Each structure stands twice: as C-alpha cells, then as structure tokens.
Amino acid sequence: LTAQKHLFLLLLDLQKVLDSCKLNLNQIDEVLPNIYIGNVAVAQNKAALQKLGITHVLNAAHSKRGSIGNRGFYGNDFVYCGIPADDSTHFDLDVYFQPAADFIHKALKTPDGKVLVHCIMGMSRSSTLVLAYLMIYRHLPLKQALQKLIQKRAIYPNRNFLALLLDLDLQLTRKKKTCQIL
C-alpha cells in the first residue's frame, strides 16, 4: 500500500464518519461545554451572543467577503481573534491550528468563558479549528474528535482540511510514542 493510497483510504474513512451525521445545519450549536460553532449571521448578532453568554469569538473567516467581524465590531464586549482563512483546497489552515487551539483553551480557562468559533457557514473552517483543539488539548484522535462533533453539529471540513488534520493526528501520535519511550 503506497503512502498516498493509505492517506486516501484514511480520508474516505473520515468522510464516511462525516456522512453519517444526520443533523440539520443550525445557525449555532454548543458542540462541547462552552464551545459553540456557528455561522456568520449569528456571529454578527451581538445581542444573541450576549444572551448565550459568549465571551470569546474566533472568526475563521476574518476579512472575507460577508464577514464583518473584527476587533472594532466587537469592541470590549468580546475577546476577538481573527483568522483570515479561505475555505479552499489550497489554504494552509494548519499554521493556525496551534494559535486557534490556544485561543479556545484560554477562553475556557477564563471565569464563565464561552467561545464561539465561526466561519461563513459554520461547517468547514470553524469545525476544523475546533477539531484541532480537541486533538491538541483533549488528546483525542481525529476520528474520535469527528465522532464527538457530529453528534452536536452538521460539520463538513473540506478534504484539504481533513488531510491537514490527519497530518496533525499523525504528528501527535508520533509525539505520544516518543514521549512514552523517554
């Protein structure tokens, strides 16, 4: 089995997990305690966010068409972090995995911290960053992280993002093995 074929089979397996999700896509869902994934419409409704008790906003579509959210927009009401990600087959979202995971982690450590992670639809970029958080901070393998999220929200990371997450999964697994040897 070539490495490429192996990767393809792993991606197919993950795609099957995603396809097994029977949920409808909502504007916003609490996918884990105090972690929400949502779309741009809910992200731009500050009253709705305050009603939910959201304290932190991670915008995975910062400065993209249709996404007006930025520090100026949120003012002092929310802690804001913007990631200018494209939902494309070429975008290297993996350079943002660690900073996004750190932002989510810090948000949850603040008293009453609740974080909204959003992009335009709340399906691909935002879910990819939450999956990276689950893998980095909660030490979940990618497949388990996917299974956890699809119980709460209809997500669909694009194939490029899935491949980047698989890469992260392999790196973290390798790191775990090295740590056990030491």
Nearest Cα neighbor of 14 from 122, 119, 168 is 168
Q: Could you tell me the sign of the dihedral formed by the alpha carbons of 37, 44, 46, 84, in that order?
A: positive
Bridge partner residues of 117 (DSSP) = 37, 58
Query: CB of 129 within 8 A of CB of 97?
Result: yes
pLDDT tens column, 8-23:
898 999 999 999 999 9
Instruction: Quote the pTM value.
Output: 0.93
- pLDDT at position 66, please? 62
d(CA 34, CA 71): 21
pLDDT tens column, 152-171:
999 999 999 999 999 999 99
d(CA 176, CA 173): 5
- Tokens matching residue 20: 């097994």
**Amino acid, single-letter form, for residue 148:** K
> Domains of the chain (ranges plus CATH)?
28-180 (3.90.190.10)
**Amino acid, single-letter form, for residue 45:** N
pLDDT tens column, 99-158:
999 999 999 999 999 999 999 999 999 999 999 999 999 999 999 999 999 999 999 999
Neighbours of 72 (CB within 10 A): 8
Q: Which residues contact 154 (CB under 8 A, 6 or more apart)?
A: 21, 23, 24, 25, 26, 123
d(CA 33, CA 148): 12
- pLDDT at position 62, please? 87
Nearest Cα neighbor of 102 from 115, 91, 89, 90 is 115
Given 21, 81, 119, 179, the catalytic residue: 119
pLDDT tens column, 11-55:
999 999 999 999 999 999 999 999 999 999 999 999 999 999 999
* 119 a catalytic residue: yes
